[in-house]
Amino acid sequence: MGRYVARRLVQAIPTLFGIMLLTFLLTRLSPTDPVQLMLAGQSDLTLEDRQELLHELGLDKALPLQFVDFAWDVVRLDFGNSFYYHRPAIQLIAERIPNTAQLAIAGFVVAALIGIPLGIIAALFRGRLLDHGIRITSVLASAVPDFFLGLLFVLFLGVQLRWFPIGSMNVIGEGCGLCWDRAWHMVGPVLLYANGGLAVYPRYLRTEMLEILAQDYIRTARSKGLRERIVVGGHALRNALIPVVTLFGGILTIVLSGSVIIEQIFSWPGLGRLLFEAASAKDYPVVTAAVLVGGFLLVLSYILRDIAYAWVDPRIKVGK
Amino acid sequence: MATQVAVADALSQADLGRPSVGFWGDVSSRIRGDVTTMIALSILGAMIALALGADLLSDHVFGVSYSKQDLLRTFERPSFANEPAFWLGADNLGRSEVVRLLYGARVSLFIGIFAALVQLTLGLAVGVSAGYFRGRWDDIAVWLISTLNGIPTLYLLIIVGLLFRLDPISLVILIGLLGWTGEANLARGQTFAWRERDFVVAARTLGASPFRIMLRHIVPNILPLMIVTGMLTIGGVILAESALSYLGFGIQPPVPSWGNMLTGATGFYYKGPHLIVVPGIAISLTVLCLYLIGDGLRDALDPRLRGSQAVKRISRRRPPAVGPR
């Protein structure tokens, strides 16, 4: 197990390097002038001032040397100060992560609680009306864009029926972390996250469950007279849930991308909204930091997924 | 032995009542029998036709262009009692929602179809060659794939949308260049399985060049699977493009895309709810059709998927045995 973990960690190094290289190249290849960007509005800049500023930023060096500087900064998690907030970008990001995590965790608990049973039901009723119904729901859930669903939620349940608030985390003036008010504000965004899971879980679990129900040991269990409930719940379900572990690694992709949209719609002050606001305000250091931190978290989640998978299913280690 | 030859003879001479059907003929007849897929195909076909005819329709039926503003009719509600240009109402600047939807369809479908084509071509090229040659090239391909997978796609698109001003063509190239990893992974895995097949070994023994083996023996066999994936990819690209444009980093106004038609929508909850509902339904319906077509194609291309579970298990492990054509 230790060797597997070590190998998996070593494999991640080139990927992390690739992410840094890609981000670096994208920012340096852009036609936008960084000096102009930093000093938006101040046009009384002499050529010497400009050169000096470029030198200060290290932008007059050769590209490979610039990359070395960039990589060194990234390793120390120093992404520079936000143009807008005048605070370290990494600090801004760290502040926002708990807010995003709160939503995402709640969302995926809801998604799993709805999606996994639906997948099992679909498998048990294969080919019947219920199965088709679940399949159509799941296809619909993946076809409807998050932002459309979110806007509909706000439009009908927020604006017209006034059941739910249309944004932010708390009623103004009430600053609580975990209370009824917060939960009330979370309903909309959590449902949106759950929708992302609803598109994936039922399908996945259905295939898995059907595959396992066709195995010999299920036939053995049935022929020795076990009740169907025990065969399905004990023998089949337990094994069908193993690969669900892999889904949790992929979750972070949905969370990171989904949070930009979901938090923008519900004005939820999380990582996604920070990225959106920073990108809208051309706040470069924060955008770069968000992309890199997002990438690193994603790679980390893939590693954790593989390790968890190898842990629950020992056959994996032998393979690749 | 003698009886077998006799039976084979009899079979070859017997009139079986219908001409023999090739692989694609079989696929198309299966699709024609599949009601859901046919409905989805006709809706999508109608949308493509409407999108292609956007110029004609806006000139001769609706009589306004997509950027014509009529400030006296802002937020006009949809009603068929209106003149045709305002059947679906008007937006915050009094522009015809119908006409904007048509031009938006053009942008969204164009980007969806062509970016998916770029992804498919790149994915096939990288995946098949990596799977066939293995070794150093495969390592590089895997590194590229894991790097691109390591950054959330929307983040990448946002950062690029921020740095460059994007028009539909540059978005096609961009989404194509950044999003081919799924296809490449699939093609690579499939190639691993096919390159060990007897007929590929035979072709190699007879001296066929690697290029010929890949193009004539491996690609045709994984193409059906890739086409199914391609349908899902078009849907995925349309979703990604509309999300990006919705956020304001994709297609820039005044060019309408289904995504950027929703951009200001949060400000119009009270005045113009139809401005949220109309483009949203257009996106959802299109993507739904593409996903349903993908599902239908998968069933048609691989009839064994519909058989018993035992067969299903085998077909999941091994690619569909179509044989070289």
CA angle B312, B316, B319 (to 5 degrees): 115
| Among candidate residues A297, A313, A207, A311, the one with its CA nearest the CA of residue A255 | A297
Instruction: Report the pLDDT value the prediction gives residue B18, as an integer from 0 to 100.
Output: 67
User: Same structural domain for residues A252 and A116?
Assistant: yes
CA dihedral over A259, A32, B118, B320, signed as positive or negative: negative
A159 and B284 in contact by Cβ < 8 A? no
Q: Which residues of chain A have pLDDT under 50?
A: 319-320
Q: What proportion of chain B, given as a percentage, has pLDDT over 70?
A: 84
Rounded distance, CA B143 to CA B184, Å? Answer: 12
Instruction: Report the pLDDT value the prediction gives residue A35, as an integer from 0 to 100.
Output: 66
Domain membership of residue A317 (yes or no) is: no
Rounded distance, CA A14 to CA B147, Å? Answer: 8
Nearest-Cα residue of chain A relative to residue B292: A139
Count CB atoms within 10 A of the CB of residue B23.
13
pLDDT tens digits for range B47-88: 999 888 878 777 777 777 777 777 777 777 777 777 776 677
Partner A contacted by B288 (CB < 8 A)? yes
To the nearest whole angstrom, how far is the Cα of A52 from the nearest Cα of chain B? 24
Instruction: Report the pLDDT value the prediction gives residue B122, as an integer from 0 to 100.
Output: 95
List all residues 6 or more positions away from B51 whose beta carbon is below 8 Å from its beta carbon. B102, B105, B106, B109, B110
Instruction: Report the pLDDT value the prediction gives residue A131, as an integer from 0 to 100.
Output: 86
Rounded distance, CA B127 to CA B145, Å? Answer: 10
Q: What token pair was written down for A320?
A: 């690749």
User: Same structural domain for residues A42 and A148?
Assistant: no
Optimal mutation site among B39, B154, B170, interface A, most CBs of chain A within 10 A: B154
A148 and B269 in contact by Cβ < 8 A? no
Give CA A138 to chain center in angstroms. 20
Instruction: Report the pLDDT value the prediction gives residue B112, as an integer from 0 to 100.
Output: 93
A294 and B151 in contact by Cβ < 8 A? yes
Rounded distance, CA A92 to CA A99, Å? Answer: 12
Domain membership of residue A319 (yes or no) is: no
Look up the CATH number of the domain holding residue A263.
1.10.3720.10
User: Same structural domain for residues A53 and A119?
Assistant: no
A287 and B162 in contact by Cβ < 8 A? yes
User: Same structural domain for residues A58 and A188?
Assistant: no
Rounded distance, CA B264 to CA B91, Å? Answer: 10
Q: Cβ contacts (< 8 Å) between B295 and chain A: which residues?
A: 139
Partner A contacted by B136 (CB < 8 A)? no
pTM for this entry:
0.84
Q: Cβ contacts (< 8 Å) between A299 and chain B: which residues?
A: 146, 150
Mean pLDDT, residues B309-321: 37
Q: Cβ contacts (< 8 Å) between B312 and chain A: which residues?
A: 210-211, 214
Rounded distance, CA A190 to CA A266, Å? Answer: 11
Rounded distance, CA B242 to CA B105, Å? Answer: 11
List all residues 6 or more positions away from A254 whose beta carbon is below 8 Å from its beta carbon. A193, A196, A197
pLDDT tens digits for range A6-39: 888 888 889 999 998 988 888 777 666 666 666 6
Q: What are phi and psi of B264, to 5 degrees?
A: -85, 0
Q: Cβ contacts (< 8 Å) between B276 and chain A: which residues?
A: 148, 151-152, 155
pLDDT tens digits for range A206-261: 888 888 888 888 889 889 988 888 888 888 888 888 777 767 666 777 777 778 88
Domain membership of residue A298 (yes or no) is: yes
Q: Are A54 and A46 in contact (CB under 8 A)?
A: no
How many CA atoms are closer than 13 Å to the CA of A317, on its beta-carbon side?
14
Rounded distance, CA B239 to CA A253, Å? Answer: 15
User: Same structural domain for residues A62 and A141?
Assistant: no
Domain membership of residue A80 (yes or no) is: no
Query: DSSP secondary-structure letter at B86?
Result: G
pLDDT tens digits for range B249-268: 888 878 888 888 888 676 77
> b or e along A275-286 (b: 16 or more beta carbons within 10 Å of the residue's beta carbon)?
bbbbbeebbbbb
- CA-to-CA separations, A224 to A229, A234, A280, A285, in angstroms, rounded: 14, 14, 65, 65
Q: What is the mean pLDDT of chain A?
A: 80
**pLDDT-based confidence at B118, cuts 50/70/90?**
very high
User: Same structural domain for residues A166 and A285?
Assistant: yes
User: Same structural domain for residues A114 and A49?
Assistant: no
Optimal mutation site among A16, A151, A275, A280, interface B, most CBs of chain B within 10 A: A151
The yes-or-no verdict on residue B316 having pLDDT over 50 is: no
Nearest-Cα residue of chain A relative to residue B156: A291
Partner A contacted by B199 (CB < 8 A)? no
**How many domains does the structure of chain A reveal?**
2
Q: Which domain holds residue A131?
A: 96-312
User: Same structural domain for residues A115 and A236?
Assistant: yes
- Helix/strand/coil for B96: strand
ipTM of the predicted structure?
A: 0.83
- Measured between CB atoms, which of B143, B163, B288 is closest to A140? B288
